[in-house]
Amino acid sequence: MSPSESPAGLPAAGGPGVFDRLRAVPVIRLGGMAIAALGMRETVDLMIEAAQASPRPGRPLYMTSANGEVLSRHARSPDFARLFVTADLVNADGQPMVLLSRWLGARALPERVATTDLFHGVAREAAARGLSFYLFGASEDENRRAVENVQALYPSLRIVGRSHGYLTGEALSDTLDQIDALAPDILWLALGVPREQAFVHEHGARLAHVGIIKTSGGLFNFLSGSRTRAPAWMQRAGLEWAWRLRQEPIRLFWRYAVTNPHAIGLMLAHGRSGALTRGTGRLVRALLPSRTPLVRR
């Protein structure tokens, strides 16, 4: 895929204006993935336009993000990689990706589009335009507190429903029907990688009246106040992972210890051409031996 390519898998029917904009989004190959070369403002505008248009009949638009963990797992697992093939947009939610793209890529990523920041930009515009949200994911307590805090920040924002993310069987089926009946313009899906991507793959067709599904990782933990963001200088330097590691060392140590070096190796290995060379291929394999299991949330 060349630096000027656009995301694949967009049907010709429905909402031609939005689909034209999606096709026109420049993407770059970074660590083997196609990443949208969009800034925060452009992503907010595109999401709002798509939510207003609801352009795809029968299935919501699917927008997701990539960071070092995602790059690593995408390269290691074909099954994981397939969960991203049908995404209409993949943003860079990792500052190291942005910094390395400026050195390696024919087209650099303009900036990091962190979902934690994107949410607030979209919420402000959605409140002004009467668009609706549904928040699905995290624990019941985290989800409830996240919704309460968001409603306090944006009193005119229409939050038509919410649910924790630990549903199975009939309870999940009933909730999917409820979400579809409520027809939110944007469904914020916070189940963690790869559960949220698998959710879209398995259940997207049942949410025909939802405009957009945006995967959100740990967004609700920040909205609820149970987790705090790193200082701005750490975010700019690509060190937010270290801040998160300090907050959750047991859960995150092995993930970062394994996937961060592998992701950096992948980005260096693919370089400007996007092709994995023999020498750098050995580097990547050295950084993450084939027997090393994928790190899960």
pTM of the model: 0.81
Q: Find where tokens 């904009």 sit.
A: 21
Query: pLDDT truncated to tens, each residue of the chain (297 aa)?
Result: 333 343 433 343 344 578 788 888 999 999 999 999 999 999 999 999 999 987 677 889 999 999 999 999 999 999 999 999 999 999 999 888 998 888 875 578 999 999 999 999 999 999 999 999 999 999 999 999 999 999 999 999 999 999 999 999 999 999 999 999 999 999 999 999 999 999 999 999 999 999 999 999 999 999 999 876 767 777 777 777 776 767 777 776 677 777 878 888 888 887 644 443 333 333 333 334 433 333 333
Distance CA 161, CA 183 (A): 10
Q: Residue 214: what pLDDT? A: 98
CB 266 within 8 A of CB 74: no
Q: Residue 282: what pLDDT? A: 37
User: Where are the chain's structural domains?
Assistant: 16-219, 239-287
Domain boundaries 16-219, CATH class: alpha beta
Q: Find where tokens 């999401």 sit.
A: 47
Q: Residue 103: what pLDDT? A: 82
Phi-psi region of 238 (alpha: psi -120 to 50; beta: other; left: phi over 0): left
